[in-house]
Chains A and B, each alone.
Chain A
Amino acid sequence: MKAPNPHAVGPPAPYRFARADFAIALSLWVACVALLLQTSSMGYTRDESFYFRHSVTYVRWISGFLGKGEPAKWTSKDSVYRYWHSTGNNMEHPPLIKVLFGLSWRTFGQKQRRIGAPFKHGKYGLVIPLLANAEELGLKVGDRLLVSHPKPVSAADGDRPERLAGGTLVSAKPRALIKLDGDPLTPASFHRVCDQRIDSETKRPLTIGGCTAQNDGPLALLREDLSMRAPAMVFSGLLIALVFLFGVELFGRIPAFFGALILFFTPRFFFHSHLTCFDVPIATLVFATQYAFWRSESRRTWALGAAVLWGLALLTKHNALLVPVGLVLYWLTAHWREYRLALPDSSALRLFGPQRAPRWRSAIAIALGIATLVGGALLLGLKGAIAASLLLAIAYGLRLRLPSIPLAFLLMPPIGFTMLVLFWPALWYDTLANLEWYLNFHLKHVHYSQQYFGEVLGVPPFPISFPFVMTLTTVPEALVVLSGTGLALFYLPWQRLSAWLSRDEPQSAKVRSLLALVPLSPRARWFIAINGLIPIAVIAMPSSPIFGGVKHWFPTMPFVSLIAAGGFAFIWKLAERGLPIKSSLQRSAIALLCCLLLLTPPLRASLHNVSTGTSYYNGFLGGVSGAASRRMHRQFWGYAVRGALPWLNRRARKNARVWFHNATWGAITMYKQVGLLRHDIQNAALQQAEIAMFFHQRAFEPFYNEVQRAFGTKTPAHQITIDGVPVLSVFVRKGR
């Protein structure tokens, strides 16, 4: 019969949220998404431009698979490999988020494409051709479209072109044809109405391009780029809601509100929340899995939730593989009092005590043990020593009694990995080989150089301090101070310290009463510390790639925010003691006011830096300009070009050849599709270009000299700056 473990603790009581908590969480979610949708003013990052393309490819396969055709054709190895496999189809990342980007684009995107000159069709009469693949855009015969006048170059970013006429798609294949209502465009009037307008004096185009057509349905709510970005925004809002709920459980409503919003208004997080990328969605799914696991400790049904959420995280990004490491370590440490080492009565190791073994048997056992350990260590090193220790433990009958294994641990591997293989077609064939390729891609990832206090970090070993210093210098100052307070409060051994400093009992009692102001269970402390530390610790390893900066350890940030919420709760509870106000409503109002005061600077910083988010540094480093003076990495990802597009649209001559430097072809295509860049502007190599963009990034320095030499000038014609620090210079070739 199993002896009862005196240190075993029963499952914690489940926390019951009030309805108001869910209402606030939902409001936060909606408000965050709404704000993100309104502030998406940054250019398209390199990675986004790749995901734009792959999302469309994946959705094309999905619509084919779900369409009328034969599913077997779409699930054949040929088809799966064509759409999902290898680097050409971005197999380095699982598909879930890309599929969501694509589905959002298909459903909500206003896909604006150019149209050709009208002509008489034998069957449909006067029609205009849509210069795009209608099937790929998700258009089918009978869909309504909206044809617009050319958009002026002077129009603002969000302005829509003037409506010309409505129409219906009458044919999708082989050519997409639109029948306009009332035939307002004729072959005679087409060029007058729809050609790109040119200024007669300067000879520069006055419109972005010609007439365009876009899908016109009740769901076509978002501009094409925004529809691609929307899913990540939804995930960002969800993360804020989840942090709020966890915070409520730990510290109460107002600190939780503070913790959630200070995470949202961390300028770099706010920036990344807008992007068609994985970093924020994976942070959300990782945190959701961890929180579900936390809940599963008090209510077992959540174990299934943890398993499914982990499966979704695995389908999002490889960071998900670290989740079980944190959860297992937490389980091992939080329940350390429940371990038991047991020896059977017959064990040779029982040298002492009532059931003592004969001395000669013990001596032989010990000698054999030492020989095995030493032999193992000598022959196989550390691995050998570990293997030998395990062998000895088994041989001598050592038994380790563990605390009861959480149900989530039993469900997560089968459900998570099954979901990964089932919902990632790239793994349907040659599963192990493809899985190996996927893991190796990340284990042997290339490094992109970073600048860190003047040092170029191009190849490992990288400084261990990097992620910690970057966090301290890129999150709001209030977050640094309050998370520091929280860390000190929850993780310093105050009782021992106070006992050591003073033997005065009343003094110790005072410390205890102060600590009791914001109680946090040891279980919660372990949970936050371990799950928060692992993502950043992995990046701190000298060989880990660091090129993405803070985004690589976003899964740490919810826990940092929770600790800050605890810090805020403590400072507020202290202040409450000094407030000469009795009414709890008034006290809450003051707490909320303080919370909003503390959130105002991060909110301002987030909005101010939203277009150049990867350039942001906080006041500890003197802001963007202070960081530039200290030679910190100024930006990456080639998205600052968007700031120069209005200048380019106004100043470039017709058909101007432009070298876009670090901006990708996919990004340029999207700028044109959504009407941010003139259609006539051509992407050219530096030697052939008459206008060159240059991104101020340390790694690109030789290009700076090259541009200046090639263009015969050192003077940029235009610059994009943030707080005076240049991020993009535009050069015009001398004589142009």
Chain B
Amino acid sequence: MSHELSKSGAAIPPIARRLLYLLPLLALLVAMLYFAISESRRRLAPPSAAAWELLARWLAPTLQAGDGLLVDPSWAVGALHRVESEIPAPQSTDPDPLLNILDRHAVHPADLMWLRRVFVIEVRDFPRDQPPKLPGFREQELPREAAFPELLGRTFRLRLYRRTRPTVLFDFVRQLSQARAWRLDQHRRRQSCRWQKPKLACQRPQRGASWCDIVPVRAELIGTGPAALFFHMCNHNGRSFLEYPATPLGRRIRVQIGWQMFAFQSKDGDPVVLDVFVAGLHRGSIWVHPNDNRMRSLTIDTRSLRGEVRPVRFVLSGGSHWGRNSLLVGWVED
């Protein structure tokens, strides 16, 4: 009798045993076939320039003032930039009609304060993370007339989000033109800054030095952060002052600070301290250390001053004059 008995006593026919021996090899081959096929699919995935152009032309008449666009995954936004000229900028208070997913966990509330609607363009075959969270926004059915043509629908999926409630009262990044700024170097010499749209241009500590300005930036490369203020540490151990003389105060002021790496060799770097003053009173500090990889946050409760308009001052101290630059984000919540 060639059949063997299994432990439970049931006979295992040779063909089943053979298959059992063959199973690991077959499983391996099938798994590798799966990976090979999915790799081929990934290669086919990028939408063509023509598809993006078609999308841009389709979007153009749909966009209204106060609309934003958001591409998911965020790194694909570059392709939309390439056909940006096809999308006439809507009459928006925000000069930039494009929004980007800058963080996989959340879109920054201050980025949304200017918008009434957000179109999320999902590139179908590209791997994506969780759907973006849009605080204060709710997904809505696409209007019938806005439904995607079939041709585009194969490549993209469009979602529409509409604002249901305002979340931000005052955004420090976009209100930069209202601010006053100055710097003190390590010898306490003052360097003044003045508004030169779209940035606060500050005096260079020496001829040829660059990036001493305080500039609103939109970090859109690999998902670093939201629209932010970019401070270059022009002076070793210097101090930068940024004051908004008339800030409407609400429930909370949220401030985030982190590094935007300039140097790709980063052995240098000292900590930077951000001090926040509200109505002349010191209300909190954040320390950012050279090896901090994330944004550091501070929340200041200003409920007692609700409805009042008072100065808010940020003071950045310390830091190396090269190598690392600070990114500052802040807004007053309604």
Contacts and interface: CB of A to CB of B under 8 A. Distances in A.
A315 to B, nearest CB: 27
17 contacts: A447-B266, A507-B7, A571-B25, A577-B18, A578-B20, A601-B35, A622-B127, A625-B46, A629-B126, A629-B127, A629-B129, A702-B230, A702-B260, A705-B217, A705-B219, A723-B42, A724-B79
Contacts of A459: 266-267, 269, 290-291
A706 B32 CA distance: 44
B191 interface: no
A483 to B, nearest CB: 12
Interface in A553-593: 571-572, 574-580
Contact of B25 (A572, A623, A719): A572
Contacts of B304: none
Interface in B261-310: 261-267, 269, 290-291, 293-294
A193 interface: no
Interface of A: 446-449, 451, 454-461, 477-478, 481-482, 485, 504, 507, 571-572, 574-580, 594, 597-598, 600-601, 604-605, 608, 618-619, 622-626, 628-631, 634, 696-702, 704-706, 709, 714-716, 719, 721, 723-726, 729
B81 interface: yes
A481 B28 contact: yes
Given A702-B230, A729-B78, A574 B24 contact: yes
Interface string B199-231: 000000000000100010111111110000010
A485 B224 CA distance: 38
Contacts of A485: 24
A455 B78 contact: no
A715 B42 contact: no
Given A447-B266, A575-B22, 16 more contacts: A455-B293, A456-B293, A458-B261, A459-B267, A459-B290, A575-B25, A578-B18, A578-B20, A580-B18, A619-B38, A698-B221, A702-B217, A705-B217, A714-B84, A716-B78, A724-B79
- Top 4 nearest A-B pairs by Cβ distance? A724-B46, A578-B21, A578-B18, A699-B264
Contacts of B294: 455
B3 interface: no
B104 interface: yes
Contacts of B76: 724
Nearest to B263: A699
Contact of B42 (A448, A594, A623, A701): A623
Nearest to B38: A619
A454 B259 CA distance: 13
A425 to B, nearest CB: 29
A697 B165 CA distance: 37
A719 B77 CA distance: 12
Contacts of B211: 702, 706
A619 B28 CA distance: 15
A542 to B, nearest CB: 11
A721 B269 contact: no
B330 to A, nearest CB: 19
B42 to A, nearest CB: 4
Nearest to A573: B21
Nearest to B75: A628
A697 B264 CA distance: 10
A124 B259 CA distance: 66
B43 to A, nearest CB: 6
A233 B326 CA distance: 44
Contacts of B221: 696, 698, 701, 704
B138 interface: no
A625 B293 contact: no
B45 interface: yes
A601 B217 CA distance: 42
B157 interface: no
Contacts of B178: none
B261 A454 contact: no
B127 A625 contact: yes
B154 interface: no
B293 A577 contact: no
Interface centre among A574, A578, A698 (most CB of B within 10 A): A578
Contacts of B98: 714
A625 B47 CA distance: 13
Contacts of B260: 701-702
Contacts of A504: 7
Interface centre among A457, A460, A628, A709 (most CB of B within 10 A): A628
A694 B38 CA distance: 30
B296 to A, nearest CB: 14
B126 A625 contact: yes
Contacts of B78: 716, 719, 726, 729
A504 B5 CA distance: 14
Nearest to B24: A571
B82 A477 contact: no
B245 to A, nearest CB: 26
Contacts of A574: 21-22, 24-25
B247 interface: no
A700 B39 CA distance: 29
B293 A723 contact: no
A724 B126 contact: yes
A712 to B, nearest CB: 12
Nearest to A458: B266
Contact of A705 (B22, B230, B265): B230
B35 A628 contact: no
B31 A447 contact: no
B85 interface: yes
A626 B127 CA distance: 5
A604 B36 contact: yes
A164 B219 CA distance: 52
A1 B221 CA distance: 74
Contacts of B261: 449, 456, 458, 698-699, 701-702
Contact of A619 (B35, B47, B291): B35
A624 B126 CA distance: 10
Given A575-B22, A575-B24, A578-B18, A601 B39 contact: yes
B19 interface: yes
Contacts of B263: 699
A698 B73 contact: no
A631 B38 CA distance: 20
Contacts of B42: 622-626, 723
Given A631-B104, A702-B262, A447 B25 contact: no
A618 B39 CA distance: 9
B29 interface: yes
Nearest to A721: B46
Given A446-B265, A702-B217, A714-B84, A634 B126 contact: no
Contacts of B82: 715-716, 719
B156 to A, nearest CB: 13
A724 B18 contact: no
A605 B39 contact: yes
A598 B32 contact: yes
Contacts of B230: 702, 705
Nearest to A460: B291
A697 B221 CA distance: 8
